[in-house]
Amino acid sequence: MSQHPRIFLSSPHMSGKEQQYIHDAFETNWIAPLGPNVDSFEQELAAYTGVRDAAAVSSGTAAIHLALRLLDVRAGDTVFCSSLTFIASANPILYQGAEPVFIDSEPETWNMSPYALERALSEAEVMPKAVIVVNLYGQSAKMDEIVAICDRYGVPVVEDAAESLGAEYKGKKSGSFGKFAVFSFNGNKIITTSGGGMLVSNDEEALRKARFLATQARDPAQHYQHSELGHNYRMSNILAGVGLAQLEVLDERVAARRAVFDRYVEAFGHVDGIDFMPEIDGTLHNRWLTTLTLDREKVGFTPLELIDRLAEENIEARPVWKPLHLQPLFEGAKYYAHTDNRSVSNELFENGICLPSGSNMTIEQQDRVIHFINGMLKE
């Protein structure tokens, strides 16, 4: 193992202002869930995204679960979901006893294929209760096409924007397209609260219900009374203070991630056999992670071989997400490929890699990554 300091894939990047918000929470004794920081974080995140309301919760997964609760997803229902994503996008489908149907990606965005979605909806005997569309690694899906298809079939969209905060699609912020959208503030995301998430929507009444469900669904009575199942999903006032400070520097973080991406492109963009994740016209990719595909025949190694070699140099890299239709948990689930003879998500999983992309990664650290990969390309 190399003696060089570790280079992480995407480590937390504090602004320095978080301590002030945390201090204020302690000074006012707003320690438990809820409080002024939570209220402000919700309001400022909603304003940034361009939606009417937001509810701060304990994780992005919790936000998806609440969205499905609000859409009355029940046992026996189906929910369509992007296949190329982290498992948290689909686990809440199982929480509700529903059945996932997975939709392939398409090559221009690596996100949900409108062609596969149209085919899945046209063949559905009963319409799904929702379509969960993931904006992978910070690139928006083709939301105009996907929303139009879902509107035609009368199916609501849940926009999983966990990885795409700060990204844009045709002049609108990511997270402003679905009936509901979700963000994640996990430790490795573009901004973090250490753990946490946000459910956003233009339906303010629905988000009032979300807050009710997220606080154990306690009825408005003097005693503890509960008429329906609730969850302990609200964000603490301390963590919301971290989020407020992080939100102040979000656009700087996006610019820094994009600069990291640009340096990788400058280093490897000319190499035959290396192709970076696209940024389609009319979008702003937040480049949360720099992702690319490798052609083994042309570069001489696979993503897993590169990941292992980088690990020996104390550099963290990761494979692209393993598609959910290939996960043992979802064995037997329906899957609609991009075309009859092409599964794009399978190709991306086999050939894709995520390189270190943190907004706090120094140029010297990135040069170390680039220098090592260049060495492998010359072997």
Closest listed residue to residue 161, CA positions, set 41, 51, 240: 51
CB neighbour class for 330 (10 Å; exposed up to 12, middle 13-18, buried from 19): buried
Q: For residue 3, what pLDDT is reported?
A: 80
- In whole angstroms, what is the distance from residue 100 CA to residue 167 CA? 27
Please give the positions annotated as active site. 189
- In whole angstroms, what is the distance from residue 70 CA to residue 126 CA? 19
**Three-state DSSP class for residue 334:** strand
Mean pLDDT for the chain overall: 97
Stated length of the chain: 379
- In whole angstroms, what is the distance from residue 116 CA to residue 120 CA? 6
Q: What counts of helices (H) and strands (E) characterise the chain? A: 13, 15
How wide is the angle at C-alpha 64 spanned by C-alphas 58 and 70, nearest 5°? 110
pLDDT tens digits for 41-70? 999 999 999 999 999 999 999 999 999 999
Q: Which residues contact 98 (CB under 8 A, 6 or more apart)?
A: 68, 73, 74, 75, 76, 77, 78, 79, 129
pLDDT tens digits for 149-165? 999 999 999 999 999 99
What phi and psi, each to the nearest 5 degrees, are found at residue 377?
Answer: -65, -25
- Say if CB 344 and CB 104 are below 8 A apart: yes
Q: For residue 1, what pLDDT is reported?
A: 62
pLDDT at 205 exceeding the cut of 70:
yes
Classify strands 168-169 and 157-160 as parallel, antiparallel or unpaired.
unpaired
CATH fold match for the domains 18-248 and 250-378: no
pLDDT at 238 exceeding the cut of 70:
yes
On the CB side of 176, CA atoms within 13 Å amount to: 18
Taking domain 250-378, whether its CATH number is 3.30.413.10 is answered by no
Taking domain 18-248, whether its CATH number is 3.30.70.20 is answered by no
Q: What is the DSSP letter of 288?
A: S
Q: Which residues contact 367 (CB under 8 A, 6 or more apart)?
A: none
Residue ranges of domains in the chain: 18-248, 250-378
The helix or strand, by DSSP H or E, that contains position 172, with its residue range, turns out to be: strand 172-173
Q: What secondary structure, in 3-state letters, does 128-194 show? A: CCEEEEECHHHCCCCHHHHHHHHHHHCCCEEEECCCCCCCEECCEECCCCCCEEEEECECCCCCCCE
Q: How confident is the model at residue 233 (pLDDT cuts 50, 70, 90)?
A: very high
pLDDT tens digits for 310-338? 999 999 999 999 999 999 999 999 999 99
